[in-house]
Amino acid sequence: MFLSVDIGNTQTTLGLFQLDGTLLRQWRMATDHTDTADELHERLFGYFQMFGLSLSDVTDVAVAGVVPILSQSWQRMLREVVGSEPLMVDATRDCGIAINMPNPREVGADRIANAISARNTYGAPVIVVDFGTATNIDVVDASGAFRGGAIMPGLLLSAQSLFARAAKLSSVPLIMPPHALGNSTETAVQSGMVIGAAAQAEGLVRRIQDELAAEGTDVPRATVVGTGGFSSTIAEATDLFDAVDPDLTIRGIYQIWRHAVEKHASREA
């Protein structure tokens, strides 16, 4: 089996795949920046045991992380689990997509995984809106190359900042309110947070669509895909998305690993 690990700033997502790419199980766990390799091993063992699975069945692993110190802890732990070096996703390796940016090395591993998975699933051009700790917009142009996008504070980060700094506002559930015109403090906050995040994504995606269209008269409209922990909530507030795909990033990590395996096999042939 193959284990895909997406280490985010707030949550870490795990995807267990058959080697042919069939997703068997997905878990989300809180990202704790103080976790050691031993502690991560204990947590991972617990998830597998919970579902009657064995860590010894994992033969291959790839990790995409935006928290360097945790990526190192995961790497050490997984090296012991599988008995070989896990594939660490980053822009310095051939991941199977051209990165048409002035400094490709600065692109986060999760954004590369999103771009590859979206292109392979939905074709190109495609725009991914990933609602995590940050909200990332990742753009693949009509040629299939990663072009960049936009990065802004995520929904939860914005809400935490608001509640911490506005004395009369208390934390409320981040759900879709019945109307944009809030008639209570709670629904007003929900409107500003949830519908506001949707409107922000709509505006940025529309401008990006316009810029892509200006590059050629025959450029098709980009498919728009939502992913990340809040994507289903935001999707209730907008018709922006052609698809909502919560497994997009972990599939992309698998596809990067598969690309590396096939590339190695072709060299050996």
Return the active site residues.
110
Tell me how far CA of residue 258 lies from CA of 86, 116, 238, 265, in angstroms: 13, 12, 34, 11
CA gap 209, 125 in Å, rounded: 10
CA gap 245, 231 in Å, rounded: 8
Query: Tokens 């392979």 — which residue?
Result: 120
Q: Which helix H or strand E contains 208, and what residues bound it? A: helix 196-213
List own/partner pairs for 176-183 with CB under 8 A and 24 or more apart. Answer: 176/233, 176/236, 176/237
Token digits of residue 11: 């949550």
Contact 156, 195 (CB under 8 A): no
Q: Across 117-240, where does the E strand assignment appear?
A: 126-131, 134-140, 146-153, 223-227
Contact 122, 138 (CB under 8 A): no
Query: Tokens 């728009």 — which residue?
Result: 224
